[in-house]
Chain A
Amino acid sequence: MSLFGFHYRLERKAIGLTLAIILVASIGGLVEIAPLFTIHQTVEDAPDMRVYTPLELAGRNIYIREGCYACHSQMIRTLRDEVDRYGPYSLAVESKYDHPMLWGSKRTGPDLARIGEKYSDQWHVAHMNNPRDVVPVSVMPAYGWLLTTELRTDDLGLHLKAMRRVGVPYTDDMIANAAVDAYAQSNPDSPLADGVTKRYGKATTLRAFDGQPGRLTEMDAMVAYLQVLGRLTDAATKSTARAEAGQ
């Protein structure tokens, strides 16, 4: 009756099948994926690469929350028409701080890998508020509430800490000041603004992204994120320039 008595042999067959399935199925993935974890040995690094500021990270999380990745890719393939349309093709290093990556699999709307600073803040705000105000035939939903919803900042430190645990080099200083930096990045005139530049570098953009200084909305975060896409490092433009010079 019991598992190990009379039916021991039959049981062995089921376990054998189980093990065989696990073995046959898992080896393929292991052998193929493992080398990718040593890839940093061959891919050139981007020493100028900076991490997302707390405000940009918050924007990225809104991008994820709203499911923007369902319609927009962030991966320019190595094809001539894509490079002509969207800019230099995407490099592996460019998404090394992207947990998770947002390469996407469908372009219901255009690629966004290099959308940063291609349009003005005002354009983005108008577009997010109602896409059809600026692109009449667009099928993108309107995200008007971003402009009126206050951005939640009290837990941003936790976000940065979790990102550090998965390998992104946030410093203690950055984590401690996360909420303040988020506010300051969208209030360039505030005395706290210097801290952002100090911690994240001079190239960091400080602006009232949503056009309402003094108020920190989800729109600020979203536009700050969109404006930094493709601009965390200029490794891609450099490598394209090098390729062209080499020809």
Chain B
Amino acid sequence: MKEHYNEEPYIEVSCIEESNMANESRRKFLRGLSFLVGGTVATALVSGNSLAVAMEHSLKPVIVGSDLLSDGKIFPLSQLKQLKDICAIVIPKTDTLGAAEVNTHGFIDNQLFHCYGKAKQTKIKQLLILINDVAKKNFSRSFTELSQDQQFKLLTELDQGKANFDKKQRADFKALKQLICFGYYTSEVGASQELRYLAVPGGYKGSIPYKGSDANWGSQGLYY
């Protein structure tokens, strides 16, 4: 069947991709919409809940908790600090901020408390204790006192289930990595700066060019 896509004005609403474009694309969007439904309806549409929210997206990164001051809901302060270091090792700062800078440790504490059961909470806590014990055994220092190289090496062994670590511990660390990834790639930085975020794609195109260095889509609708 013939593709009908390009026959109609393509509504450019992809504003949300680039922050400084927000106002420009809001205007573009209104123009496109007015063309389709008439000015009054368009204005009414945009003052409706969804679009108002869509248009207010700002892309300033939200950075919370760079100074860790108190216990979390699950983890005591010492473990939060340890978790922050682990986040920084797993997803470090590159040309975009990393997991620690966007408070993924705080996210994990909160998420474990609200969305997971005791078993999972305990598993992660024990994993942190294990990591610290191995650090003390091998380096006579707690994990947070190790150099980044030492932390990286220790966690790599854990990630691969080698040296001091067994298969089960490796699986537990994969579970923690999963929480770190979820926290990071659903954060504003992770979803919209590290990856590309399209709040309102405007339509579906089956194929656009992609180079290996391009970022994948960080916007996934309702399903993360």
A binds B: no
- Which A residues have a C-beta under 8 Å from some C-beta of B? none
- Which B residues have a C-beta under 8 Å from some C-beta of A? none
